[in-house]
Amino acid sequence: LSFGTDLGTVGFCDVRGVAHDLVTNSFDVATTTVTQVSFHQECGDHLVCASADGSLVHWDVSSVITTNISSGTRQSPWLSESLSQNVELDTLRCPCFGAVNGFAIKGTTVVAAIDMCMLYSYENVSFPIGSRSRIPKQEMGTNLFLKALYLLYAGNYLTKMESVVMKVSFHDTIWKSNT
C-alpha cells in the first residue's frame, strides 16, 4: 500500500499481516501535501506521485533486488531495505506555481490536472508496457514531451480562477479509438 501525507511524505506499508513494522519505507518528496499516489496498473514496480507544490514524479523500482523473507510471503521492491539506494526518480514536473490536484495513467501517458484550469499530458513516460522495452534514461529528454490542453466549458475557454480541475480519468473506449 502506498500513501501520501500533508507534510509531503510518500510511504509504503505491508498490510499482509506480516509481524513486523507496518510502515517499511517513507520518503520526503514534496514541500507540501501529496495530492495523489498511484501504481501503474500494468507495471507494479512503477508509481507516480503528485503534490500541491506543483511536482509530479515517476518512481521506478524495477532495478531493486528483493530477497525472500523467512515468512514465505513475496517481498515487494517497495518494501525493500535497499529501496532508497535503488529507486529511479524521473521528475515529470518540477515544483512550480500551480498544484497538481490529480492525474490519470494510461499506457505510457500521464495526464495531470493542474491549478489554473489546465490539463498537462506527459507522453512516452518510461513505463515498460507489453513488448515495449523501457526507454533508456539518456533518451528520455527527447522522447518525453509536454502538451498543455485548455479545458473547454460550454464552448468557451476557461479563464483563470473560474474553475479548478481536481481529478482526471481516461475513458477506455475513447482512448483506444484515438491511439
58 has a pLDDT exceeding 80: yes
> 101 phi and psi, to 5 degrees?
-80, -25
Cα 120 to Cα 126: distance, rounded to the nearest angstrom: 17
Mean pLDDT, range 35-42, rounded to an integer: 93
> At 37, is the pLDDT very low, low, confident or very high (cuts 50, 70, 90)?
very high
Number of domains, the chain: 1
pLDDT (tens digit, 9 = 90+) per residue, 67-111? Answer: 655 555 557 888 888 888 889 999 999 998 889 999 999 999 999
Which residue range(s) make up the domain with 139? Answer: 2-178
Q: Please give the grid coordinates belonging to residue 118.
A: 489546465
175 has a pLDDT exceeding 50: no
- The answer to whether 2 touches 10, Cβ cutoff 8 Å, is yes
Cα 135 to Cα 133: distance, rounded to the nearest angstrom: 6
pLDDT (tens digit, 9 = 90+) per residue, 101-149? Answer: 999 999 999 999 888 778 888 988 988 876 444 444 333 333 333 444 4
pTM exceeding 0.75: no
User: DSSP 3-state helix, strand, coil percentages of the chain (rounded to 5)?
Assistant: 10, 35, 50
> At 26, is the pLDDT very low, low, confident or very high (cuts 50, 70, 90)?
confident
> At 53, is the pLDDT very low, low, confident or very high (cuts 50, 70, 90)?
very high
Is 101 in a helix, a strand, or coil? Answer: strand
